Structure 1
Amino acid sequence: MEFQQMKEQFLALLQEQTLIYATISQPRQKSNELKRIKLKPIQLKGVYTIQIEYQYERILKHENVKLDAFAHHFDLLLEQFRQIHAQFTDQSIQIQLSKKNKVLWKSDKTQQQKQVNLSHNRKKQYLLDDATAYPFLIRLGVQTEDGKVKKQKYDKFKQINRFVEFIDDSLAHLPEDRQIRILDFGSGKSYLTFALYHYLKIEKGLDIRVTGLDLKKEVIEECNRIAQDLQYDDLQFLVGDINDYNEETSVDMVVTLHACDVATDMALARAVKWGAKVILSVPCCQHELNRQLNAPELDIMTQHGLIRERFAALATDSIRAQLLTLVGYETQILEFIDMENTPKNILIRAYFTGKKATQEERIKYDSFIALLNVNPFLQNELKNFM
């Protein structure tokens, strides 16, 4: 099949309005920040429309395009990508393009006719299904005895699922030939700790051992009772402070959720020293930089207490992410849950790669620290690794 013929045939199929979804992938240039495209049909104000989801390394963007205007967008996408997988109601199609645009077109007829869903607000598909009863969610009061998510707990259910998505994304970075060691600092009531254990141990069947650490004795005792009731034999909770926990020499994953101020930095430093392959951190109450901040160039912002507080918090997490990059981690700052549910919605995700930081990355960090005139706690903790 010729390249032009392929385009015409694919666009003709779209005109039939039988598309269910499509994925366009395999960037022609490895340096392309745009990693893949997803297409799905929706109906906006009664008009059949193709929603284009642009998946970058760190963010998603969406664009809605009317069917008669899609051909131009399709041309631009084919300039950047070499593979298309599309599911229609009656067939699935796989298209592979060579560097010189030679076309391999493979089509498989669908045995049972599929249905197109044009709803713009489709039901979210969770890794933990909201129609399934999970013993740990029932025990924690998120679900009723018959497995229905309680109305007042639905935000918590969404938060748990968002966290499980991060865990699922991290699987490729965890060891496969031995038991996986996981620590959760500041586990609190441990909704997410139980979710982590359930997903990795029960759903994925992995050999893991998880420890949750918190200062509240009563909370820890209750969490241990729940773990025993659920027969989660490789999950334990201990009373203790991050600084005082010296039971480990090597850890695979460190989770730190809402550890206040420099307690987050203590946990991040410990994770680096243990050589953790995965770090998931949701910071809280970032006061350290707010106290130190001395940047006359930013006075137009920082003269206002509210703005100063928010800026200092964002600067703190930016510094944390950059420091982790400087010591060999691939680091991202992601939205944990919607801002409407909580302002504490940033998650720092870091995967250890061992990649040496570039001189440019170091200069950017030093320049930023000099601008703010601060001396971050985490920088001092990691100085021997930089």
Structure 2
Amino acid sequence: MQAEQEADERAGDPGEESVARAAVRAALLEPGGLVRAVGSGRRRGAEAPKYQRVELRYVDLKGVRHLQVTEYDERQAHTRNAGTAAADTVVDELLGVPYGNWHIETTTETLRLRYTKKGKSLLHRQTEQHEQETSHDRTKQRMLDPAAPFLVELGISDHLGRVKPSRQSKYKQIDEFCKLLLPALEEALAAGRIETGRPLQVVDLGCGNAYLTLAAYHLLTAAGHDVRMTGIDRTPAARERNTRRVTALGWQDHLKFIDATIEAAELDAPPDVVLALHACDTATDDALARAVGWQAPLILAAPCCHHDIQKQLKNVEPPAPYALLTRYGIVRERFADVLTDSLRAAVLRQVGYRVEVVQFVDSEHTPRNLLLRAARTGAAAGPDVQAEYEALIGEWQVKPHLATLVLAPEHEAVL
């Protein structure tokens, strides 16, 4: 078994802070050793970085090694390449950005640097081996190998490990979802929001045919996590089929399905991660409310239809001059989608979550392609967050279902 060595360096003064930063800088500037580095999150009290996340790795361009920097905003990735002579300038620039977490993999170790609420840096180092890949023309990275046994078991891939033409969209959906799940989990672990040294507890609410359930379990266990996963669903046929699949894969000891509503589901332990993929209408609100009640550190939910707010908009007088947004059925439907998810994000912010609303897959694969990604900080929302929310619901005369589930009557955060 691979030997492991762990050490924590706590920076309580500028001298110790420089030691942690120097270790990270050295790892980033090792062309033959850096495998992958990710900077994400925001340090408390600092302005939000221009880009939500940055990834670094070394690539070979025409036989010359370059540092590749990929920066992500809400819509797309921006990539630039720097020669090794300019790499130190680029790295210093990025280390000056107030990211709250750095996750770095080298050929010999993993480094995790995070900043506490008081601004202190914590550096964790663990001896691990990773393989460096520097090919610039590599095929587009996939999180899920099409030949993975669970994909064959689900009927997404054939017996030769090729994604079936008719299942390309389903494969793309779960693969892109997993691309957002793993970095979010790494950030939560690095920030100390999820306790280490014990099994990772994951629940999929309204799991249905369990495509996401099995994909998440495969992904997280392949990443080295000891996972205990539960799928919640009320459909007997789906639960029986899912249980047979899990048994065929040999996962039955750590992955189970139970018959329960989202509201009444009882788990063996509070979940670290709550997933909900395309729970219909207010079922997404029920899932989000359960996650809030559990104080889950990480929530990923891809909403489905939004009938509740649509119905409410039919019976209200829209604020001037926005009558056109509700006059036509198709426009009202799409506006209701945007309004519903914006209000969900606003409610989650009031109960101690940092929220991102992102597109997780192209609309050609599914029109329901928005993802709410929420990380629990426990920080009380400022008065401007509540005021902004109340102004919006007041103008449109709507009452989000999620608010009735998690907010007190006076709309104060319930932590």
Do the two structures share a fold, i.e. TM-score over 0.5?
yes
Shift of 1:38: 7.0
Task: Identify if the C-alpha distance between structure 1 residues 254 and 116 changes in structure 2 by more than 3 Å, giving closer, same or farther.
Answer: closer
Name the CA distance, whole Å, in 2 between partners of 1:182 and 1:24: 23
Task: Identify if the C-alpha distance between structure 1 residues 227 and 59 changes in structure 2 by more than 3 Å, giving closer, same or farther.
Answer: same
Shift of 1:254: 1.1
Partner of 2:166 in structure 1?
Answer: 152
Structure 1 stretches lacking a partner, 5+ long: 1-20, 44-50, 68-73, 85-113
By relative contact order (CA 8 Å, sep 6+), the higher-ranking structure is 2
Name the CA distance, whole Å, in 1 between partners of 2:57 and 2:224: 33
Q: Secondary structure at the match of 1:243?
A: coil
Name the CA distance, whole Å, in 1 between partners of 2:227 and 2:158: 28
Q: More displaced, 239-248 or 218-227? A: 239-248
Task: Identify if the C-alpha distance between structure 1 residues 126 and 371 changes in structure 2 by more than 3 Å, giving closer, same or farther.
Answer: same
Q: Secondary structure at the match of 2:395?
A: helix
Partner of 1:241 in structure 2?
Answer: 261
Does 1:211 find its partner at 2:230?
Answer: yes
Q: Could you tell me whether the CA contact under 8 Å between 2:275 and 2:301 is conserved in 1? A: yes
Partner of 1:306 in structure 2?
Answer: 330
Q: Secondary structure at the match of 1:284?
A: coil
Q: Could you tell me whether the CA contact under 8 Å between 2:173 and 2:365 is conserved in 1? A: no
Deviations 1:193-236 (CA, angstroms, capped at 9, x unpaired): 001111112x1232221111122211110000111111102111
Percent identity, please. 34
Question: In terms of Rg, which structure is larger?
Answer: 1
Partner of 1:296 in structure 2?
Answer: 319
Does 1:231 find its partner at 2:255?
Answer: no
Deviations 1:22-72 (CA, angstroms, capped at 9, x unpaired): 999899x9525324487999x9xxxxxxx985423x34354899x9xxxxx
Partner of 1:349 in structure 2?
Answer: 373
Q: Which residue type is aligned with residue 124 of structure 1?
A: K
Task: Identify if the C-alpha distance between structure 1 residues 32 and 361 changes in structure 2 by more than 3 Å, giving closer, same or farther.
Answer: closer
Give the TM-score, by structure 1 length.
0.72
Name the CA distance, whole Å, in 2 between partners of 1:125 and 1:364: 40
Alignment RMSD (CA, Å) = 3.5
Q: Which residue type is aligned with residue 332 of structure 1?
A: E
Give the TM-score, by structure 2 length.
0.67
Task: Identify if the C-alpha distance between structure 1 residues 53 and 229 changes in structure 2 by more than 3 Å, giving closer, same or farther.
Answer: closer
Q: Secondary structure at the match of 1:260?
A: coil
Task: Identify if the C-alpha distance between structure 1 residues 330 and 147 changes in structure 2 by more than 3 Å, giving closer, same or farther.
Answer: same
Q: Secondary structure at the match of 2:389?
A: helix
Alignment: residue pair count: 317
Name the CA distance, whole Å, in 2 between partners of 1:289 and 1:157: 30
Name the CA distance, whole Å, in 2 between partners of 1:197 and 1:24: 22
Structure 2 stretches lacking a partner, 5+ long: 1-34, 62-67, 98-132, 189-193
Q: Secondary structure at the match of 1:209?
A: strand
Shift of 1:280: 0.8
User: For residues 1-386 of structure 1, what are the structure 2 equivalents within 5 Å?
Assistant: 30-31=46-47, 33-35=49-51, 36=54, 54-56=71-73, 58-60=74-76, 62=78, 81=94, 117=136, 123-130=139-146, 133-172=147-186, 173=188, 174-201=194-221, 203-232=222-251, 233-247=253-267, 250-293=270-313, 294=316, 295-297=318-320, 298-384=322-408, 385-386=413-414
